[in-house]
Amino acid sequence: MFNCMLIDLKGMLTQGFKMGNAEIEPPKSISTATAVTAQIIAQVASHIYGGTTINRIDEVLAPFVTASYNKHRKTAEEWNIPDAEGYANSRTIKECYDAFQSLEYEVNTLHTANGQTPFVTFGFGLGTSWESRLIQESILRNRIAGLGKNRKTAVFPKLVFAIRDGLNHKKGDPNYDIKQLALECASKRMYPDILNYDQVVKVTGSFKTPMGCRSFLGVWENENGEQIHDGRNNLGVISLNLPRIALEAKGDEATFWKLLDERLVLARKALMTRIARLEGVKARVAPILYMEGACGVRLNADDDVSEIFKNGRASISLGYIGIHETINALFGGEHVYDNEQLRAKGIAIVERLRQAVDQWKEETGYGFSLYSTPSENLCDRFCRLDTAEFGVVPGVTDKGYYTNSFHLDVEKKVNPYDKIDFEAPYPPLANGGFICYGEYPNIQHNLKALEDVWDYSYQHVPYYGTNTPIDECYECGFTGEFECTSKGFTCPKCGNHDASRVSVTRRVCGYLGSPDARPFNAGKQEEVKRRVKHLGNGQIG
């Protein structure tokens, strides 16, 4: 079992595959294609433990929209329906919208063999055809509409919208209207996050959607020299507790570097153990992955699966947490944001981690990468362990959580542009996994302000998310931001905290979560409570 992946959906749908006792042929309509896609997601998610991503889903499924159009056009002609083209168009638009509505509902009602809803991501936005545009609109309009009678925000699939200059970035671009719809969707449902095309290519070597919430593949070419993304995967992550190393160093920088190198040796050993566990594994252990095309291959039952993970085809990642607390533990005093020398110290730590994984990659041939760990649970666990060992250390263990990877301290009040500038040096170093985001007030009536931030991010970071208050109370009708209290999340208008009568949505790490239904751990809850808005001198809000 490995971590996360990009499903080769195109290969599976065009070549057909077997699932259970059924031989699945290429679908003849978009509604059938999305129904089959839901089944693929469920099967794949049951055989891996990380996120499941469909890369460029609008382009992959576009041919099946064409098939639906042709079917409706044929019906119109057979029945002598006036304006056959108009009939076919309207029927196809309706079918596509309904197909993606059904897909969204299925994803949110499925339970995998792991006992949870599939952590699935849809990447889209680069398609230019009428069919691709229709899929993009259907995904966004369904998300805006919400789930059920209360129009609840869907947590899955995570939506990642690609922006590219000349396509949808600015006025005059042919798909600029889709970007406007994406802005509306983000203001109301937090998703989509955005992938800035040029920056993704610059940082990772080629364009692709992240696996899961933030894991990015590097460049890999097949025997024909073609760049391949779909069907590839991440084998796993081992994360370093950087604040603990700093606490052990007791403020001595030389000791910190020495201890860090020792932990890197241990981390490499752990990662190589993960790789070794896959050696000798036969394809029959997970037919959907290795025999039916999800991993982009059609192996025989007794073939060794480890061969498809070599030579950089799969990634395997070193993660890290708590740059902010590490700097505090080593140097104390001034906030890292306010001191250029301390900023450089934080970057230098991540540079050392990157040097290590590059060396491991060269020595082994495996696709080692540096990954900015989401740390939904580690933020709490590592801090608790270190508090037990070192006590309550101001600026380090006193909050009850560690800051996510390279991110700016959640309590630091800055504008969104300065936060982007602070975090921008890190994704090029940790290019195996990253995300940047901003915290905003309700911006549904100020989409231009959000677009200004998106446009600024386009020049500076590859991957950006929008956090905005979208909580809802079904008792009094309040929409906005609930208060984080000892009783959980409480409506500020009527005091309601009944989980069955509210909808609360927060970004946990790269994904959204519903803490009213699935409470966060104590550390993450505290981190969420301390988050401040990133306001731009009256420009935002």
Q: What phi, psi does 160 have (nearest 5°)?
A: -130, 115
For the beta carbon of residue 262, count every other beta carbon within 10 angstroms.
11
Residue 501, pLDDT above cutoff 70: yes
Q: CA 351 from chain center: how many Å? A: 23
- Is 371 among the residues known to form the active site? yes
Judge whether 240 lies within some domain.
yes
User: Between residues 504 and 56, which one has the greater pLDDT?
Assistant: 56
Q: Which of 114, 310, 471, 27 is nearest to 10 (CA)?
A: 27
Q: What is the mean pLDDT of residues 390-418?
A: 97
For the beta carbon of residue 342, count every other beta carbon within 10 angstroms.
18
- Is 436 among the residues known to form the active site? no
Residue 208, pLDDT above cutoff 90: yes
- Identity of the amino acid at 123: G
Instruction: Single out the catalytic residue among 142, 215, 239, 372.
Output: 215
| pLDDT tens readout for residues 367-376 | 999 999 998 8
Q: Return the top range by mean pLDDT from 17-21, 148-152, 200-204.
A: 200-204
Instruction: Quickly state the pLDDT bin for 96 (edges 50, 70, 90).
Output: very high
- Is 262 among the residues known to form the active site? no
- Is 537 among the residues known to form the active site? no
Judge whether 485 lies within some domain.
no
pLDDT at residue 537, as a whole number: 52
Judged by average pLDDT, the poorest of 69-83, 356-370, 496-510 is 496-510
pLDDT at residue 538, as a whole number: 47
Instruction: Quickly state the pLDDT bin for 540 (edges 50, 70, 90).
Output: low
**3-class SS of residue 533:** coil
Instruction: Single out the catalytic residue among 131, 376, 472, 527.
Output: 376
Q: What is the mean pLDDT of residues 336-363?
A: 99
Task: Identify the bridge partners of residue 436 per DSSP, sorted by sequence position.
Answer: 464
Judge whether 34 lies within some domain.
yes
- 3-state SS of 263-327 is HHHHHHHHHHHHHHHHCCCEHHHCHHHHCCCCCCCCCCCCCEHHHHHCCCCCEEEEEEECHHHHH
Residue 117, pLDDT above cutoff 80: yes
pLDDT at residue 499, as a whole number: 86
- Is 4 among the residues known to form the active site? yes
In this prediction the pTM is 0.96
- Is 411 among the residues known to form the active site? no
Judge whether 281 lies within some domain.
yes
| pLDDT tens readout for residues 250-264 | 999 999 999 999 999
Judge whether 296 lies within some domain.
yes
- CATH at 87: 3.20.70.20
Q: What is the mean pLDDT of residues 32-58?
A: 97
Judge whether 311 lies within some domain.
yes
* Strand pairing class (483-485; 488-490): antiparallel
pLDDT at residue 329, as a whole number: 98
The tokens of 489 are what? 């999340």
Domain extent at residue 41: 4-470+505-530
pLDDT at residue 399, as a whole number: 97
- Is 213 among the residues known to form the active site? yes
Instruction: Single out the catalytic residue among 69, 366, 371, 511.
Output: 371
How high does pLDDT run on average in the chain?
95
Residue 384, pLDDT above cutoff 80: yes
Q: What is the mean pLDDT of residues 294-309?
A: 98
pLDDT at residue 200, as a whole number: 99
| pLDDT tens readout for residues 421-459 | 999 999 999 999 999 999 999 999 999 999 999 999 999
Task: Identify the bridge partners of residue 124 per DSSP, sorted by sequence position.
Answer: 161
Instruction: Quickly state the pLDDT bin for 484 (edges 50, 70, 90).
Output: confident
Residue 294, pLDDT above cutoff 80: yes
- Is 148 among the residues known to form the active site? no
Q: CA 475 from chain center: how many Å? A: 32
Instruction: Quickly state the pLDDT bin for 223 (edges 50, 70, 90).
Output: very high
Alpha-carbon span 294 to 461, nearest angstrom: 30
Residue 86, pLDDT above cutoff 90: yes
Instruction: Single out the catalytic residue among 142, 234, 239, 496.
Output: 234
Judge whether 263 lies within some domain.
yes
Instruction: Quickly state the pLDDT bin for 500 (edges 50, 70, 90).
Output: confident
- Is 20 among the residues known to form the active site? no
For the beta carbon of residue 313, count every other beta carbon within 10 angstroms.
22
Judge whether 478 lies within some domain.
no
Cβ 187 vs Cβ 99: under 8 Å:
no
Structural domain tally of the chain? 1
Instruction: Single out the catalytic residue among 5, 96, 190, 213.
Output: 213
